[in-house]
Amino acid sequence: MQKNQIIFVGFYILGSSLALYTEIKELNMEVIIIAKIVEAVEAVKLVRSGDVVMIGGFGNVGNPKRLIDLLADTDIHDLTVIANDLGTPNVGLGRWVRNRMLKKAIGTYFTYNTEAAELYFDGKLNLEMMPQGTFAESIRAGGCGIGGFYTKVGVGTELTAHCETKVIDGEAYVLAYPLKADVALLHARKADAMGNLVYEKTARNFNPLMATAAALTIVEVDELVETGMLSPEEIVTPYIYVDVLVPQNRGAVK
């Protein structure tokens, strides 16, 4: 049998420049692209004004704190953020709110951030609230190509007054559309050099779903290890969904 050429391609940050390495092996496989591994200051340059950005996390758990804080120090603006919440005043995504970086936020509750509420009532910030299960399923739909789905959650309330309704088996449902993003900023406990991700307990939350629903996925990881050191049974997000890794501790990878 004729064997096809496989090319492993990866990117590492060396000082302030990216160094490209390639390793070519003769195998009967396709080309594999390994995730880019960069410093946080380089990764945030991939986010642009006007982007739709998904942010993993629930409260202060499972969110990419370093990336959020670095972006808060830029002049990026007019972002649409898809996140469970907007942090607290001037903390986490609360810094984005205070810096007026957002034009819209889609999430499940914003009550912890009184500044977001004030901007909403002043007509300076568009907030769209969704039931948490619908929020999660809409992200999943965006990631797997589902054009929409019907749910009974919120039927007859102000929250779904604008939604299309349909009667199925004698019961009313509302149509929910998928959520997708230009960029996802996520957090994982551990990753290997290819970009396979492992999460820690409830810090997992929305991160795996968001990894599938964005054109560009950037992941802040606590520990980076060599490929092959993760058990397939513990990997939640396969590398195919990960574009950029931002390690806080490079671990075994040199």
Each residue's pLDDT tens digit, 196-206: 999 999 999 99
Integer Cα distance of 95 and 129 in angstroms: 20
Higher pLDDT, 42 or 25: 42
φ and ψ of 231, to 5 deg: -75, 135
Cβ partners under 8 Å of residue 183, min gap 6: 46, 47, 51, 52, 53, 54, 214, 215, 216, 217, 218
H or E segment to which residue 168 belongs: strand 165-168
Q: What is the pLDDT of residues 65-124, one digit of tens each?
A: 999 999 999 999 999 999 999 999 999 999 999 999 999 999 999 988 999 999 999 999
Integer Cα distance of 82 and 52 in angstroms: 7
The average pLDDT across 6-28 equals 38
pLDDT score for 35: 74
The 8-class DSSP code of residue 4 comes to P
- 34 pLDDT tier (thresholds 50, 70, 90): low
Q: What is the mean pLDDT of the chain?
A: 87
Q: What is the pLDDT of residues 163-189, one digit of tens each?
A: 999 999 999 999 999 999 999 999 999
Evaluate if residue 221 carries a pLDDT over 90.
yes
- Count of CB atoms within 10 A of residue 81's CB? 22
Give the SS3 label for residue 113.
Answer: coil
Evaluate if residue 57 carries a pLDDT over 90.
yes
Evaluate if residue 27 carries a pLDDT over 50.
no
Residue type, 218: I
Burial environment of residue 198 by CB neighbours within 10 A (0 to 12, 13 to 18, 19 or more): buried
What is the reported pTM?
Answer: 0.86
Q: Record the tokens describing residue 145, joined without a space.
A: 């190509």
Closest CA to 68 of 35, 114, 99: 99
| Across 33-37, 60-64, 70-74, 199-203, least confident range | 33-37
Evaluate if residue 15 carries a pLDDT over 70.
no
pLDDT score for 5: 40
If you compute the radius of gyration of the chain from its CA atoms, what whole number of angstroms results? 20
Instruction: List beta partners, residue 81.
Output: 53, 105
